[in-house]
Chain A
Amino acid sequence: MAKEIKVRESADEAVVPERVETGPLFAPQVDIIERAESMVILADMPGVSKDKVEVVLENGVLTIEGEVEQTEQPGTHVHVREYDVGNFHRCFTVGEGLDPAGVEATMKDGVLRLVIPKTRAHQARRIEIKGQ
C-alpha cells in the first residue's frame, strides 16, 4: 500500500507560477492515468504544433510548455470569445518510482501525450501464490 501512495503523489497538481509574460498564459487540462508499468499524462494544448512544445525535466519537476501562434489579423472584430488564445504552461513534481529519463512524448491533434515509465522496483508485479 505504501508503494502505491508514493507513486500517486509523484504527479502533483502544480500551480502556474507567477511570471511576467506578454499575452495570456493557461494551464492545459490534463488526464493522468496510472498504468501497471508507467504513468501517462495527456495534456490538451489545442493550437500548438509539434515544434512548439517543450517538455523539460529539472530537479524533479516536469514542465510542459506550448506556444500558440497568434493568428488574429489586425482589423478583426471579435464577436464571441469563449476561449482566449495564449501559451500553455504546467508543471508537475515527479517523485520516486518514476524514471523520467525514459519519458516518451508525442504530440497529435493538439494533445501532448507523455508516457513516463515506472522504475523497475515500482512496477506492479504479479506475485505467484505457491500452493502446498
Chain B
Amino acid sequence: MALRDMVPWRKVRRGEEESLLPQRREMRDLLHETFEDFFRPWALAPWGEATRRLAGFAPALDVSETSDEYRVSVELPGLSKDDVELTIDAGRLVVRGEKKSEEREEKESCLRVERSYGSFSRSIALPESVDQDAVEATFKEGVLTVRLPKTEKERGKRLEIKGE
C-alpha cells in the first residue's frame, strides 16, 4: 500500500477562504474562540463566552453585575421591542432579530453606509445564580437592557474571581 493511500489528502484551492472544507472551518473557529477567551480580561467561569453568529452583524453588548442582579445591555439603534426576540434557552440568553433597511426610493444613491443591517443573533451563557423566572427586559432609545436578578441566596454575595 502506498503511503499516499494512508494519509488523507485534500486539495484546497487558493483564495477560497469562504468555502473552506468543514474540517478546516471547525479548526478556524476553534482557534478563533480560543484566542477570544484568552484575551478576555474577565475569565469568570459561570459566564462562558458570549458567542456571535456569522450572519448579518453582531450588535455590541455589555454585561455588568451588582449585588442583586446582572445586567446585559445590547446596542440596537433603529429597532424597537417588536423587532427583537429574547429567549432563555438551555441556560443561555439569546437575543436575535433583523434590522431591515429603510424603503429605498427610486432615484436614490447611498453615499456612505456605516450602519449595520441584516439579521443578528447573540447569546450568552447564564450563571447558575440567575433567577430565570424573574428576568425583565426593557427597550429604550435603541438600547435593550435585560435585568437578571440573582436568586435569593445569591444576593449580596460578591462573585468570586477565580484564578490570578
Decide: B143 and A46 in contact? CB cutoff 8 A. yes
Q: Kindly list chain B residues whose C-beta atoms are within 8 Å of the C-beta of A75.
A: 66-67
Taking the complex as formed, is A76 at the interface, i.e. its CB lies under 8 A from any CB of chain B?
yes
If over half of B's interface residues share one DSSP class (helix, strand or loop), that class is named, otherwise mixed; here it is loop
Bin chain B's interface residue count.
Answer: 35 or more
Number of residue pairs across A and B with beta carbons under 8 Å? Answer: 107
Decide: B78 and A110 in contact? CB cutoff 8 A. yes
Taking the complex as formed, is A111 at the interface, i.e. its CB lies under 8 A from any CB of chain B?
yes
Q: Kindly list chain B residues whose C-beta atoms are within 8 Å of the C-beta of A8.
A: 111
Interface size on A, residues (CB 8 A): 34
Taking the complex as formed, is A72 at the interface, i.e. its CB lies under 8 A from any CB of chain B?
yes
Taking the complex as formed, is B118 at the interface, i.e. its CB lies under 8 A from any CB of chain A?
no
Contact mask A24-52 → B, CB, 8 Å, 1/0?
00000111111110000010111111000
Decide: B107 and A80 in contact? CB cutoff 8 A. no
Residue numbers of B with Cβ under 8 A of A are 42, 44, 47, 50, 60-67, 71, 75-80, 102, 105-116, 141-143, 159
Residue numbers of A with Cβ under 8 A of B are 8, 11, 13, 29-36, 42, 44-49, 72-73, 75-83, 108-111, 124
Contacts A/B (CB < 8 Å), 14 sampled: A30-B114, A33-B110, A35-B108, A36-B105, A36-B107, A76-B66, A79-B44, A80-B61, A82-B62, A83-B62, A109-B78, A109-B142, A110-B142, A111-B142
